[in-house]
Amino acid sequence: MGAATRERIIEAGSILFRRQGYAGTGMKAIAAAAQAPFGSIYHFFPGGKDELTGEVIRAAGRVYGALVPRFFDGAPDTAVATRCAFRGAAETLRDCNYADACPIAAVALEVASTNEPLRLATAEVFAHWVGGLTARYEGAGLAPAVAHRLAVSFVSMLEGAFVLARASKNAQVVEDAGEIMFEAVRAALDKAAE
Amino acid sequence: MGAATRERIIEAGSILFRRQGYAGTGMKAIAAAAQAPFGSIYHFFPGGKDELTGEVIRAAGRVYGALVPRFFDGAPDTAVATRCAFRGAAETLRDCNYADACPIAAVALEVASTNEPLRLATAEVFAHWVGGLTARYEGAGLAPAVAHRLAVSFVSMLEGAFVLARASKNAQVVEDAGEIMFEAVRAALDKAAE
């Protein structure tokens, strides 16, 4: 029982939080989904559900944060990359029948008022994503304040569109939202080039 | 024990879902918060938590939907109304110390994959809000498809900005997101007037 089991437990937590939220997901369900002995969860995460959830949040932060280079590297410009990221998210939602959106949003909404360490973990991940996107927009020539506002809006728009798309089982919401972000970035780039 | 108790129970459910999500909120906690006898919940909601949650979702849908006229009636134009709505939401978040965002988003993320009647209830409310906003943008002279895309993005952006603002305890996110939506509506109005 080693690193691979620990990773399976984190991945199982991530999947279950995405599908049924934080409070609705018990440690037993996570152990079962990870095909790990129940006791092994407390071996790897002596702090219990809070510690495991913190790891799920941080792992998801890294995984989704790594998508930024995937969409932005090699794109003709940051407006097109923005649109592609939303289209990619829409495709992923359809492929999984709207089961897997963001494991962090559900946790953030559930624990923000009641669990300070987990609230901070979600805040850190969002800040990391916003930082990565801000750097891309700044790199494209936008002023720091403009770049930051677009980045904050990118993450907000995507998280909110996930909520609506999951509710309606319709990923067109995510594509529509992506068009608005595409146009916002395009307008900012045009203005900066004037 | 009449309509007033029933209303108090729905209001208590709405507050608790906003603060701690759906799965984390038990019927006992709702009864206590409503200062209602535990048994009265099943008197008013024989279908139990699912029925009560459906009512909370629909009631919140009406309450928040009624904010659309409040911001759009009498505003100089729909772009300014859009910005004001986001600024108002930011102010509300600060006033309640980030406890009260949207009761529907948390439920939507938690139950979309696991509870079909509640998923449909959240989808109906989002569709109602999008419909109200679409009508406003159409009324301002925008083509139906453009109006619909802005309305979908308005609701997505606001819901997502709530997630980030609650996580970071910083309502500037909501104002930044509102500026992007303001500019998107302004650009659409300018284009329509050409």
Instruction: Output the domain CATH number for residue A117.
Output: 1.10.357.10
More confident: B108 or B125? B125
Residue where a domain terminates, one of A59, A78, A98: A59
Instruction: Write out chain A residues lying below 8 Å of B163, CB-based.
Output: 105, 108-109, 126, 156, 159-160
For A173, the closest chain B residue by CA position comes to B152
Residue where a domain terminates, one of B33, B56, B79: B56
Which among A22, A106, A184 has CB closest to B180?
A184
A33 part of contact set with chain B, CB < 8 Å: no
If phi > 0 it is left, if psi is from -120 to 50 it is alpha, else beta; for residue A73 that is: beta
Domain count, chain B: 2
Contact status, residue B148 vs residue B84, Cβ threshold 8 Å: no
| DSSP for residue B170 | -
- For residues A123 and A163, membership in a common domain is answered with yes
- For residues B103 and B136, membership in a common domain is answered with yes
What pLDDT sits at residue B24? 86
- For residues A38 and A66, membership in a common domain is answered with no
For B168, the closest chain A residue by CA position comes to A123
Q: CB contacts < 8 Å between A and B, how many?
A: 186
- For residues B69 and B11, membership in a common domain is answered with no
* Confidence grade of residue B103 (pLDDT, cut at 50, 70, 90): confident
B99 part of contact set with chain A, CB < 8 Å: yes
What pLDDT sits at residue A131? 97
CA distance A139 to A134: 8
- For residues A174 and A130, membership in a common domain is answered with yes
- For residues A97 and A24, membership in a common domain is answered with no
For A175, the closest chain B residue by CA position comes to B149
- Global confidence as pTM: 0.94
- For residues B158 and B83, membership in a common domain is answered with yes
CA distance B85 to B67: 8
B169 part of contact set with chain A, CB < 8 Å: yes
A106 part of contact set with chain B, CB < 8 Å: yes
- For residues B50 and B98, membership in a common domain is answered with no
What pLDDT sits at residue B182? 98
* Confidence grade of residue B1 (pLDDT, cut at 50, 70, 90): low
B110 part of contact set with chain A, CB < 8 Å: yes
When scoring B109, B115, B116, B190 by the number of chain A Cβ atoms within 10 A, the one with the most, hence best to mutate, is B109
- For residues A76 and A32, membership in a common domain is answered with no
What pLDDT sits at residue B22? 87
pLDDT tens digits, B25-80: 999 999 999 999 999 999 999 999 999 999 999 999 999 999 999 999 989 999 99
Instruction: Write out chain A residues lying below 8 Å of B177, CB-based.
Output: 152-153, 156-157
What pLDDT sits at residue B80? 98
B160 part of contact set with chain A, CB < 8 Å: yes
What pLDDT sits at residue B108? 87
Instruction: Write out chain A residues lying below 8 Å of B164, CB-based.
Output: 108, 126, 152, 155-156, 159
CA distance B105 to B155: 11
What pLDDT sits at residue A101? 75
What pLDDT sits at residue B102? 81
- For residues B26 and B83, membership in a common domain is answered with no
- For residues B12 and B78, membership in a common domain is answered with no
Q: Where are the beta strands (DSSP E) in chain A?
A: none
Distances B149 to A101, B68, B104, B134 between C-alpha atoms, Å: 21, 17, 21, 8
A171 part of contact set with chain B, CB < 8 Å: no
- For residues A164 and A124, membership in a common domain is answered with yes
Which among B106, B109, B164 has CB closest to A166?
B109
Helices B144-168 and A103-111, packing angle to 10 deg: 60
What CATH number has the domain bearing residue B42?
Answer: 1.10.10.60
Q: Write out residues in chain A with pLDDT < 50, as ranges.
A: none
Distance to chain B for A35, nearest Cα, Å: 21
When scoring B164, B172, B179 by the number of chain A Cβ atoms within 10 A, the one with the most, hence best to mutate, is B164
Surface of A (118-157) touching B: CB under 8 A: 119, 122-123, 126-127, 148-150, 152-153, 155-157
Token reading at A23:
């409070």
Contact status, residue B79 vs residue B189, Cβ threshold 8 Å: yes
Contact status, residue A106 vs residue A17, Cβ threshold 8 Å: yes
Residue B163's nearest CA partner among A65, A126, A58, A9 is A126
CA distance B122 to B159: 13
What pLDDT sits at residue A118? 93
**Neighbour-count burial for A2-16, b at 16+ CB within 10 Å, e otherwise:** eeebbebbbbbbbbb
What pLDDT sits at residue B114? 86
- A95: CB partners within 8 A, 6+ apart: none
Instruction: Write out chain B residues lying below 8 Å of A181, CB-based.
Output: 180
CA distance A171 to A165: 5
> Which domain range does residue B44 map to?
3-56
- Cβ–Cβ below 8 Å for A23 and B20: yes
If phi > 0 it is left, if psi is from -120 to 50 it is alpha, else beta; for residue B21 that is: left
Residue where a domain terminates, one of B16, B32, B56: B56
